[in-house]
Structure 1
Amino acid sequence: MSSTFTARDIIDRLSTVDPDTPVRLAINPLFPLEHTIGEVIVTTDALGGTVVYVTESGEQLGPVPPAVTVAVGWHEPTEAPRRSRSAVVAQ
């Protein structure tokens, strides 16, 4: 896929899910957070071409699930470290 994500790309991907499914924005690969979507604005760029802006509403919901950050290539898959079950000796 090119670096330009088009309205067709979004429509194609969203056409496979229930229309009542919530949609979120995943922002910031280094500290990924989940945001709600605000407005969708259609305007023109400096060259007169049509551009669509998907904005965030300002509501931050929390961290993006690890499976999402792995799927988009922001993070490597990881597992929680194994913990020792050895007894703690009281002093």
Structure 2
Amino acid sequence: MTVGDLIGLLSACDRSAPVRLAMSPFFPMAHRLTQVVQSDERGRPVVYLAEGRDPDTQLGSLPPEVAVALTWQGPVQAPSRRARRSARRGSGQ
């Protein structure tokens, strides 16, 4: 993805919405974005999006619907309902 691609994707979003990083597909967490840094790597510019150093930068688990949209996890469906078994009273109870 390029900076132009990112700008294009962000241009469709609400400009007042906070920006979050979705990290770690196997343990999906949300992080607060606090820095944008441009670097030069082998003569090519590269832009890094970074979380902050504050303890509250990691915001907790990624909302399930976001993890599903990222295809990091499948949709979870409620288990089918089964008829409940009734407790039997045996002899000696």
Sort the TM-score into its range (normalised by shorter chain): 0.7 to 0.9
TM-score (norm 2): 0.78
Unaligned runs of 5+ in 2: 88-92
Deviations 1:3-42 (A, max 9, x none): xx11111101110122111110000000000000021001
1:53 corresponds to: 48
1:37 corresponds to: 33
Secondary structure of residue in 1 paired with 2:48: strand
Query: Which of the two has higher C-alpha Rg?
Result: 2
Structure 2 residue 73 is the aligned partner of structure 1 residue 75: yes
- Match of residue 6, structure 1, among 2, 13, 36: 2
Equivalent pairs counted in the alignment come to 85
* Aligned-residue CA RMSD (Å): 2.0
84 and 60 in structure 1: CA distance in 2 versus 1, 3 angstrom threshold? farther
Sequence identity percentage: 41
Deviations 1:32-62 (A, max 9, x none): 00000021001101x1100000001141111
